[in-house]
A = this chain, B = another copy of it.
Amino acid sequence: MAQQSFSGVLRQEPLTEHDTGYVVGIDIGGTNLRVALSDSSGAIIARQSASTAGIRDPQLVVDMIRRSIDKLLQEKGLSRKSLLAVAAGAPGITDVNAGVVIATSYLMGWRDIPLQAMLESALGVPAAIENDVNLAALGESCAGIGQGAKDFVFIAVGTGIGAGIILNGTPLRGMGWTVGEIGYMLVPGAPEEPAGPGEPGALESLAGGEGIRNQWLRAWNPEKTRLPKDLTATQIFDHAAQENGDPLARAILQRSAQLLAYAIYNLSLVLSCPLFVLGGSVGLHPALSPAVQTILRRREQSAHCQVSCSTLGADAQLYGAIRMALDTAIAMQGRNVAK
| Chain A residues close to B by CB (< 8 Å) | 150-151, 163, 165, 167, 172-182, 184-190, 192, 194-195, 197, 201, 262, 265-267, 269-274, 298-299, 301-303
Inter-chain contacts of A189 with B (CB < 8 A): 188
Q: Is the CB of A186 within 8 A of B266?
A: yes
Query: Looking at the complex, which one of B177, B188, B299, B302 makes contact with A188 (CB distance below 8 Å)?
Result: B188
Q: Which residue of B lies closest to A178 (CB)?
A: B272
Q: Is the CB of B185 within 8 A of A269?
A: yes
Q: From A258, which residue of chain B is reached at the shortest CB distance?
A: B192
Q: Measured between C-beta atoms, what is the minimum distance from A206 to chain B in Å?
A: 12
Residues in B whose Cβ lies below 8 Å from that of A194 = 298-299, 301-302
24 contacts between A and B (CB under 8 A): A150-B175, A167-B172, A172-B271, A173-B272, A174-B272, A179-B270, A179-B271, A180-B270, A180-B272, A181-B272, A184-B303, A185-B269, A186-B187, A186-B262, A186-B266, A188-B192, A194-B301, A194-B302, A195-B302, A197-B301, A266-B266, A267-B270, A270-B270, A270-B271
Q: How far is the CA of A175 from the CA of B184 in the complex (A)?
A: 26
Seed contacts A179-B270, A270-B271; 8 additional CB < 8 Å A-B pairs: A151-B174, A174-B272, A176-B274, A184-B302, A186-B262, A186-B266, A194-B299, A197-B301
